[in-house]
Amino acid sequence: MKASQRSLLLLEQCFTMTQMKQIQSHLAVSGTLLDPYAAGRIVAFCAVRDFSYAHRFFQHLPHLCRTAFVCNTMIKALVDEKEHESALALYKRMVTDYGFLPNNYTLSFLLTACTQLGDVCSGSIYHCQAIRLGWESYDFVQNGLIHLYVTCNVLESARRIFDASVNRDVVTWTALINGCVKSDQVEVARNLFDEMPDKNAVSWSAMINGYVQAGLFREALELFNAMQTLSGLRPSHAGVVGALTACAFLGALDQGRWIHAYVDRTKMKLDRILGTALIDMYSKCGCVDAARRVFEEMEERDVFAFTSLISCLANHGHSKDAIELFGRMLTEGVAPNEVTFICVLSSCSRMGMVDHGLEIFRSMSKEYGIEPGVQHYGCLVDLLGRAGMLEEAKQVVRGMPMEPDSYVLGALLNGCRVHGDVELGRELVESIIQRKLDHGGVHVLLSNMYASTSQWDDVVKVRKGMEENRVKKVPGCSSIEVNGEVREFVVGDRSVALVEEVVPLLCWIEKHLKSLRLEEEGGAGVAENCFF
DNA sequence: ATAGGGTTAG
């Protein structure tokens, strides 16, 4: 490139659209617009700022100025605008009408289009083109192909290109690492990660998020820490989001707070994704107020941010606030989606707000165009069942447009338990077992239902039946963080620490609470006898 | 002169 052209390019960065339009008319008058380079610069400049203007300009260009560069730039712009059909049409015109062969730029833009469409068939046609024209080992084409095959779940093809490649760069490696993660081969991904010669912040983030995807949250956090101690790289936005997701699952509050402080310290932009990740981390760690603060700090809130906080409030006993926040969401013009309605309906259910819940359920399809799914019916049945409206709940189950799943029937069964309708409960369990929908939780519910009405023989029967049929309930599990260490508690845990330290403390708390209740009821307090 | 890989809610 000539020095004069380079300085013009730099100068171009300072122009506004209006100035560029002025330059354009000036060029038109002086006849310079017929110069392919000048015309190309105008298209490239406008394509990223005002697409429709660039498009019009392109369509009026004289034939001489429709260079491969201009076509590529327009194809890229069309792909960015998600106008994949038009991008393809332009490509065809470029080849047939203007007589250009696709080059490495053309092919990489077309591959991006195929990847976004998940269209591996068209993608492999361009793959063939690339081979025929000798572009297949060009970095952007090669990496584009790997990305395409990874996205479309054809890991073997991605792997073949990788293995045959003699010019792998950091993008090549990272694309394949993601492919392995997507195909549940997180260990293979880690081996690649260890093997790759250079890593940047994107490759670290990809591996951190790979562990998160695989549910290996401790490994994700270890890697997040290693990134800072070993690589000297600063965790990027995506890395931070991945680490926060891991903290949320582990209940690792200290680590999560540290990351929040890091976000503040480095002035990382609290955008919708990062904000939501923070809200969710605080939510899962039980810090409702911190979650609220992050939410208020965010400059833009989308359906994810709202739903995340609504879910947080609903899960921590603030159902009323959750429903209020739903109202605020509507006022601020953010459209709820199916997940939002699950959270809101379960809030209504816990609050016993039957009418309001029914109204919201009805509004789903009427006002928001969202057809209720099986989970929404589950919430509705739960809402009616908890309120003791078992007949209505049964009618909902009968009238639903899809087969009830174990959660819908489980919600009805729970209603039976709470309101002591053992007969209906028994019928239900039979139908649940007949439909082969029984999971451990259903049996436990039935046994609890018998227990609540003191039908101990039946309790024993259910428990025995569970043993005989080898019905397993996923054990209840929770975790807390103490001094930076995450400690897990699982039902049936009989470890020394638990039996010798935690259980006596729990007994003391229970006795203490009972004595307090006695005091409240006017009875004589016995608190002093309850210390160890 | 035009370009690629990583991230949020039930």
Check: CB of residue A94 under 8 Å from CB of residue A71.
Answer: yes
Q: Token pair of A101, please?
A: 């062969």
Packing angle of the helix pair A170-182, A201-213 (nearest 10 deg): 0
Closest residue by Cα to the C1' atom of nucleotide B8? A273
In whole numbers, what is the pLDDT of chain A averaged over residues? 89
Average pLDDT estimate for A398-412: 91
Give the amino acid at A364.
Answer: M
Average pLDDT estimate for A175-187: 98
What is the distance between the alpha carbons of residues A221 and A250, in angstroms, rounded to a whole number? 10
Closest residue by Cα to the C1' atom of nucleotide B4? A140
pLDDT of residue A529: 30
pLDDT band at A524 (very low <50, low <70, confident <90, very high): very low
Q: Residue length, chain A?
A: 532
Closest residue by Cα to the C1' atom of nucleotide B3? A105
| pLDDT over 70 at A492, yes or no | no
In angstroms, the CA of A282 and the C1' of B7 are apart by 18
| pLDDT over 70 at A280, yes or no | yes
In angstroms, the CA of A103 and the C1' of B5 are apart by 21
Highest mean pLDDT out of A254-263, A417-426, A477-486: A254-263
The tens digit of pLDDT for each residue in A290-314 reads: 999 999 999 999 999 999 999 999 9
Whose C1' is closest to the CA of A199: which nucleotide?
B5
pLDDT of residue A526: 36
Check: CB of residue A104 under 8 Å from CB of residue A138.
Answer: yes
Average pLDDT estimate for A211-234: 97
In angstroms, the CA of A60 and the C1' of B4 are apart by 31
DSSP code at position A32: G
| pLDDT over 80 at A518, yes or no | no
Which nucleotides of strand B lie within 7 A of protein CB? 1-10
pLDDT of residue A282: 98
pLDDT of residue A1: 66
Closest residue by Cα to the C1' atom of nucleotide B2? A73
DSSP code at position A482: E
Whose C1' is closest to the CA of A111: which nucleotide?
B4
C-alpha separations of A486 from A283, A286, A466, A492 in Å: 16, 14, 32, 19
Whose C1' is closest to the CA of A196: which nucleotide?
B5
In angstroms, the CA of A184 and the C1' of B2 are apart by 36
- Please state, as a whole number, how many other Cβ atoms lie within 10 Å of the Cβ of residue A14: 7
In angstroms, the CA of A207 and the C1' of B7 are apart by 12
Long-range contacts of A353-360 (CB under 8 A, 24+ apart): A353/A323, A354/A383, A354/A384, A354/A387, A354/A389, A356/A323, A357/A383, A358/A383
In angstroms, the CA of A406 and the C1' of B5 are apart by 41
Whose C1' is closest to the CA of A70: which nucleotide?
B2
pLDDT of residue A480: 61
Average pLDDT estimate for A456-460: 80
Check: CB of residue A323 under 8 Å from CB of residue A353.
Answer: yes
DSSP string spanning A39-85?
HHHHHHHHHTT-HHHHHHHHHT--GGG--HHHHHHHHHHHHHTT-HH
What is the distance between the alpha carbons of residues A303 and A97, in angstroms, rounded to a whole number? 46
In angstroms, the CA of A3 and the C1' of B8 are apart by 45
Check: CB of residue A248 under 8 Å from CB of residue A225.
Answer: no
The tens digit of pLDDT for each residue in A138-154 reads: 999 999 999 999 999 99
| pLDDT over 90 at A441, yes or no | no
Average pLDDT estimate for A364-369: 95
Average pLDDT estimate for A232-238: 96
The tens digit of pLDDT for each residue in A254-272 reads: 999 999 999 999 999 999 9
In angstroms, the CA of A111 and the C1' of B4 are apart by 10
In angstroms, the CA of A94 and the C1' of B1 are apart by 19
Phi, psi (degrees; rounded to nearest 5) at A102 = -65, 140
Whose C1' is closest to the CA of A74: which nucleotide?
B2
Whose C1' is closest to the CA of A198: which nucleotide?
B5
| pLDDT over 60 at A100, yes or no | yes
Whose C1' is closest to the CA of A203: which nucleotide?
B6
